[in-house]
Chains A and B, each alone.
Chain A
Amino acid sequence: MAALAIEQGARGFGFVRNRVLCALVVAGVAAALGLAFVTVAPNRLVSGTGITLPGLLVGARALLLLPAAWLMLAVLTPPSRAVHASVTVSGALLLAGLVWLAGDEAAAQSAHLASIARVSLGGGFWVLAVLAWLAAADALQRLGLSPAWRALVHAAALLPLAALLGNGAIDQLSLLKEYANRQDVFNAAALRHGQIVAATLLPALLIGVPLGVAAARSERLARPLFAALNVIQTVPSIALFGLLIAPLAWLGDALPGWGIQGIGLLPAVIALVLYALLPIVHSTASGLRQVPAGAIESATGMGLTAAQRFWNVEVPLALPVLLSGLRVTTVQVIGLAVVAALIGAGGFGALVFQGLASSALDLVLLGVLPVVALAIAADAGLELLGCSLESPGR
């Protein structure tokens, strides 16, 4: 609604040359003035008092206004490649600056507060960080670079953040303190999360791809198969985890020594594989079905054997669709694996639920942020892989 209103409003303002950026800037100004940028609390469990951005911009920190001012100016500048490039750089600089500012304030506060006091990131920070990222990403899109270059720029934009993280500039933030306290737990959770995702995707591909090939070949198989997979997909994840407890516990009793339990990694992976099957089977089948009938007929007509036709014509032409399905599946599994912590599978979800139980928001964030980062990285990586497979012929 708000975006629409801004769109319509902007039409009346002919001087606005970039409506998307205009909307982002307006929202950014509102967030900077209206929402707390950081909150300061005497300890990790009570809610603190918020400080908005203007209250923090003293001395050298005011330099942060430079990239912000350029983003505002760019709203009024006729679009060109140079403007898009400068907006990309400004957005990335602003993002890094926001993180640095929060860390700097945390360091300043902790210098004259008790060590259990916490400086947390506030709503204002998160909104501004997302808006800065969106502004950079939108301008990058407008630059029309090849996917590989786009990924490279994204990675370059993250370098300052990595540097801030590495040199301890933001160590006094509550989130980082939480990490320092639980480094072992965090690392174990990261490993386990990766294990869950890998242990899900591998069997899902091994089962899903052959099923997809079969479904593409036989309509009689496809209909009941997709009906069943659709039903599984509609079962809420917590319910599915719960449903698996009883049969697996029974199986564990019936087959002692196999290590089968109603809770833990196994039921989580089984449930996640069941979820992952639909997108994988679906994308395999629709990838094969969209191979031009003429290509298949002429392949057969010129004397390719069925196996040659499958591997040389059908597979390469179906692969981009399969890969985009795998992309969706991977992101979905990374997210769903959080819920698997409820049945004792571990992973980042364990941090999230522990944080929720103790109302420690920073602990929740410590679980959520790496999941988001992992999902974005997996999505970008698989997109890049997909683009590298696309020949210029398509």
Chain B
Amino acid sequence: MIELQAVGKSFGATLAVDELSLTIERGEFVVLIGASGSGKSTTLKMINRLVEHDRGRILFLGQEIRSFKPEQLRRRMGYAIQSIGLFPHWTVARNVAAVPELLGWSTQRIVARVDELLALLGLEPGAYRQRYPSQLSGGQQQRVGVARALAGDPEVLLMDEPFGALDPITRQTLQQELARIHRASGKTIVMVTHDIDEALRLATRIVLLDHGRIVQAGTPAQLLAEPANAFVSDFVGRSDLGLKLLGLQTVAERVRAGENVAGEPVPQTLSLRDALSQFVVRRVDRLPVVDAHGLPAGVIHFADLLQRAP
């Protein structure tokens, strides 16, 4: 879908991105992570030409991105940023409709699309359509921001620390919604963050950058279990490595079907990390598990958390 081939970018004497090569497949959720100044934002912005690359080639669907008009390219890639950047003088509906209008959709199709997206992001269209951004909370504004980025049905969604300014609870809710949207739509998403927990929660592949170079790229489990060097270990965190590993898997993967035990059941979608917490809080070594319909699905044993390397 997107291919970066030995891409480089300098700002004056500062080397921001250096010989970076990365292939992003259709449907992937790639998270670019690194400390500030690592070149992650620059890399993202080179994909939609908000920043023009100096060296190397960037391909979109096999074509060098410079062969597209910048506006045409950007309209095929949704874009959401930390400061959200809603247009304060436009209603929610008009904000979301911005790209479809640029694309020349019919009014009927735009109205339907706006309502569909507001509903998708958990905003009741009737209540929010005609509001102005200043009448929304930060979390609601970013929901509109994500809806706006998705409005033109883009092939790629680029997100620059989209949840960075939100409080932890709102952030987690929006992360869950984004994960749900990614699973349901199969869109290719490239996200920049400095929050390793966000990366572990959302990414199908994490790309860890430092000084404009890729230090390691791999699945969340690979980064945790097989860190390429000490920098990666430090970045993903040494002290709670085990907890993070447990966080990548759910109870459903360790449940012993057909068993039964008394007590308040836990859902099988619970992460093993949260299950561990439940074991400790309840001072038990077995927990009953229920499936999505609330029907008994078996039992999870404390010892099974150590069963095999996740």
Where the two chains meet, the residues of A that have a C-beta atom closer than 8 Å to any C-beta of B are: 292-305, 308, 313, 316-317, 391-394
B16-24, B72-80, B268-276: which lies at the A interface?
Answer: B72-80
Residues of B within 8 A of A300 (CB): 50, 74
A302 to B158, CA, bound (A): 10
B84-92, B185-193, B213-221, B281-289: which lies at the A interface?
Answer: B84-92
Give 1 or 0 for each of B38-82: 1 = CB within 8 Å of chain A CB: 000000000010100000000000000000001111110011110
- Whether B132 pairs with A292 at a CB distance below 8 angstroms is no
- Whether A297 pairs with B89 at a CB distance below 8 angstroms is no
Residues of A within 8 A of B152 (CB): 302
- Whether A294 pairs with B83 at a CB distance below 8 angstroms is yes
| B99 located at the interface, meaning its Cβ lies under 8 Å from any Cβ of chain A in the complex | yes
Closest CB in chain A relative to B8 CB, distance in Å: 22
- Whether B71 pairs with A303 at a CB distance below 8 angstroms is yes
A296 to B73, CA, bound (A): 17
Q: Evaluate whether A304 and B83 lie within 8 angstroms (CB atoms) in the complex, with A392-B132, A393-B90 already known.
A: no
Residues of A within 8 A of B74 (CB): 300-303
Q: Evaluate whether A393 and B88 lie within 8 angstroms (CB atoms) in the complex, with A300-B50, A301-B74, A303-B102 already known.
A: yes
- Whether B72 pairs with A295 at a CB distance below 8 angstroms is no
Q: Which residue in B73, B75, B79, B132 is a CB contact (below 8 Å) of A298?
A: B79
Interface residues on B, range: 20 to 34
Residues of B within 8 A of A301 (CB): 48, 50, 74, 79, 81, 158
Identify whether the interface residues of B are mostly helix, strand, loop, or mixed.
mixed
Chain B minimum-CB-distance residue to A390: B89
- Whether B98 pairs with A391 at a CB distance below 8 angstroms is no
Give 1 or 0 for each of B119-159: 1 = CB within 8 Å of chain A CB: 00000000000001111000000000100110010000010
List 18 contacting pairs A-B, 8 Å CB cutoff, sorted by A.
Answer: A294-B81, A294-B83, A294-B84, A295-B87, A297-B83, A301-B50, A301-B79, A301-B158, A302-B79, A302-B98, A302-B99, A303-B73, A303-B75, A317-B87, A391-B89, A393-B88, A393-B135, A394-B89
- Whether A304 pairs with B87 at a CB distance below 8 angstroms is no
Q: Given known contacts A302-B99, A304-B102, A393-B135, what 11 new A-B pairs fall within 8 Å (CB)?
A: A293-B83, A294-B83, A294-B84, A297-B83, A298-B145, A298-B148, A301-B48, A302-B79, A303-B73, A316-B89, A394-B89
- Whether B132 pairs with A393 at a CB distance below 8 angstroms is yes
- Whether A297 pairs with B81 at a CB distance below 8 angstroms is yes
Residues of A within 8 A of B87 (CB): 295, 299, 313, 317
Closest CB in chain A relative to B95 CB, distance in Å: 9
Q: Which residue in B98, B134, B149 is a CB contact (below 8 Å) of A393?
A: B134
Residues of A within 8 A of B88 (CB): 292, 295, 317, 393-394
Chain B minimum-CB-distance residue to A305: B71
Residues of B within 8 A of A299 (CB): 85, 87
Closest CB in chain A relative to B46 CB, distance in Å: 12
Chain B minimum-CB-distance residue to A393: B132
A394 to B145, CA, bound (A): 18
A365 to B152, CA, bound (A): 64
Q: Evaluate whether A297 and B50 lie within 8 angstroms (CB atoms) in the complex, with A304-B71, A305-B71, A393-B133 already known.
A: yes
A238 to B53, CA, bound (A): 57
Q: Max chain A CB contacts within 10 Å: which of B72, B89, B90, B134?
A: B89
The 5 nearest A-B residue pairs measured at CB: A393-B132, A294-B85, A298-B85, A294-B83, A301-B79
Closest CB in chain A relative to B65 CB, distance in Å: 13
A394 to B71, CA, bound (A): 29
Chain A minimum-CB-distance residue to B91: A393
Residues of B within 8 A of A313 (CB): 87
Closest CB in chain A relative to B179 CB, distance in Å: 23
Q: Max chain A CB contacts within 10 Å: which of B48, B84, B85, B86?
A: B85
Closest CB in chain B relative to A231 CB, distance in Å: 34
Q: Evaluate whether A303 and B99 lie within 8 angstroms (CB atoms) in the complex, with A292-B85, A294-B83, A295-B86 already known.
A: yes
Residues of A within 8 A of B81 (CB): 294, 297-298, 301
Mark out the residues of chain B between 80 and 115 whose CB falls within 8 Å of any chain A CB in the assembled complex.
80-81, 83-91, 98-99, 102
A317 to B133, CA, bound (A): 14
Mark out the residues of chain B between 4 and 26 whose CB falls within 8 Å of any chain A CB in the assembled complex.
none
Closest CB in chain A relative to B211 CB, distance in Å: 25
A299 to B98, CA, bound (A): 9
Chain B minimum-CB-distance residue to A300: B50
Residues of A within 8 A of B78 (CB): 302
Residues of B within 8 A of A304 (CB): 71, 98, 102
Residues of B within 8 A of A392 (CB): 132, 135
Q: Max chain B CB contacts within 10 Å: which of A299, A302, A392?
A: A302
Residues of A within 8 A of B148 (CB): 298, 302
A82 to B79, CA, bound (A): 53
Residues of A within 8 A of B98 (CB): 302, 304
A303 to B90, CA, bound (A): 17
- Whether B149 pairs with A302 at a CB distance below 8 angstroms is yes
Residues of A within 8 A of B99 (CB): 302-303
A303 to B73, CA, bound (A): 8
A392 to B78, CA, bound (A): 28
Q: Max chain B CB contacts within 10 Å: which of A303, A316, A317?
A: A303
A316 to B152, CA, bound (A): 24
A302 to B80, CA, bound (A): 9
A303 to B49, CA, bound (A): 10
A162 to B229, CA, bound (A): 87
Residues of B within 8 A of A293 (CB): 83, 85
Residues of B within 8 A of A305 (CB): 71
A15 to B89, CA, bound (A): 46
Q: Evaluate whether A303 and B83 lie within 8 angstroms (CB atoms) in the complex, with A394-B88, A394-B134 already known.
A: no
Q: Which residue in A295, A303, A308, A316 is a CB contact (below 8 Å) of B85?
A: A295
A394 to B50, CA, bound (A): 28
Closest CB in chain B relative to A393 CB, distance in Å: 3
Chain A minimum-CB-distance residue to B76: A303
A303 to B71, CA, bound (A): 4
Residues of B within 8 A of A292 (CB): 83, 85, 88
Q: Max chain A CB contacts within 10 Å: which of B83, B133, B145?
A: B83
